[in-house]
Amino acid sequence: MTLRSVIMGTGSALPRRCVSNDELAQTVDTSDAWIVERTGIRQRYIAGEGETTTTLAVEASRHALEAAGVAPDEVDLIVLATATPDQTFPASATIVQAQLGIPDCVAFDVGAVCSGFLYALTVADNMLRGGAARTALVIGAETFSRILDWEDRATCVLFGDGAGAVVLRAQETDAQAGRGILASKLHADGRYNALLNVDGGPSTTGTVGKVRMKGQDVFRHAVVNLAEVLREVLASAGVAAGEIDWVVPHQANARILDATARKLKLDPAKVVMTVDRHANTSAASVPLALDVAVRDGRIRKGDLVVLEAMGGGFTWGASLLRY
């Protein structure tokens, strides 16, 4: 037997308002045809009045706790990944704690942009296996619409808002066939800041800033880094690519997903794709896609699932788990 962090339940939340490419093209110089051809995105959800990163995070967490059959007072760790917190401080995780009525626990945010959920999951997994906590709520939640430059058509069409959450619990499981997180790998290379960033912040401009991106450069790095980290995480667990039941990638662009799957000779039918409906929701995209595939019955208990993401920094990572 071995101690592993097992996903007990998943949940997600989206803002009320869905914006199609055609609707966006009424205010941005773009077209449905351009966006679909270059990215695979057909629509995105945009937060409206009263909807924030933490309102979405709370709703996603409620669904995850319900699916897990876990009461809020059983949670003793909250790790929330976001680049768009409600406030500069306190951590959004503490706002979620208060809203859910979770008593004294450990609660903090993790910032790794689009890789944030992989970072949060890995930190929580290590804390659970190290004995710092028993039951964790791991959340990815974003309102990127609030840091987009709506005059920049090369970026504003790519992103959407949303949240996803999982309940993780430390459990003794069978070392061979047991459920839980089997291996994780994280990376960062801060030399690439200029290719994808936000041009403001409390300590520099004193403003929130807007997303800036050199899309083609990001695309090239994403395909190489994601294929490498997938190989790395599979090798560390001694699992062959052909044994994977499902790949749940960060949903940035359908072409990145296709190119990465091709590089690893993965069956495209095993790649969960939600970018068409949600666009790129940054740290929320992996747990949102995971929740979709769990709830529609594709991902089942015992399946071998690999999660991967890359984002600003650059940061990137992957986790292999038996669901």
**Binding region for ligand ACO (CB under 6 A):** 30, 34-35, 38-39, 114, 153-154, 157-158, 196, 213, 215-216, 218-219, 222, 250, 252-253, 280, 310-311
Q: Please state, in angstroms and rounded to a whole number, the distance separating the CA atoms of residues 164 and 13.
A: 6
Residue closer to ligand ACO (CB basis): 117 or 323: 117
Is 156 one of the annotated active-site residues of the chain? no
Least CB distance from residue 134 to ligand ACO, whole Å?
33
Least CB distance from residue 155 to ligand ACO, whole Å?
7
- Residue number of the CB closest to ligand ACO reads 215
The residues near 23 (Cβ < 8 Å, ≥ 6 apart) are none
The residues near 316 (Cβ < 8 Å, ≥ 6 apart) are 115, 118, 186, 187, 188, 225, 226, 229, 308, 309, 310
The residues near 182 (Cβ < 8 Å, ≥ 6 apart) are 4, 237, 239, 320, 321, 322
Least CB distance from residue 298 to ligand ACO, whole Å?
23
Residue closer to ligand ACO (CB basis): 124 or 158: 158
Active-site entry in 63, 105, 114, 278: 114
Residue closer to ligand ACO (CB basis): 224 or 237: 224
Least CB distance from residue 196 to ligand ACO, whole Å?
6
Cis omega before residue 90 (within 30°)? yes
Residue environment code for 45-74, b if the CB has 16+ CB neighbours within 10 A, otherwise e = bbbeeebbbbbbbbbbbbbbbebbebebeb
Cβ 56 vs Cβ 141: under 8 Å: yes
Least CB distance from residue 258 to ligand ACO, whole Å?
12
Active-site entry in 21, 197, 250, 278: 250
Helices 116-130 & 285-295 angle (0-180, nearest 10): 80
Identity of the residue numbered 186: L
Alpha helices in the chain (DSSP H): 21-24, 32-39, 53-68, 92-100, 116-130, 153-156, 215-237, 254-263, 275-278, 285-295
Is 105 one of the annotated active-site residues of the chain? no
Is 280 one of the annotated active-site residues of the chain? yes
Residues known to be catalytic: 114, 250, 280
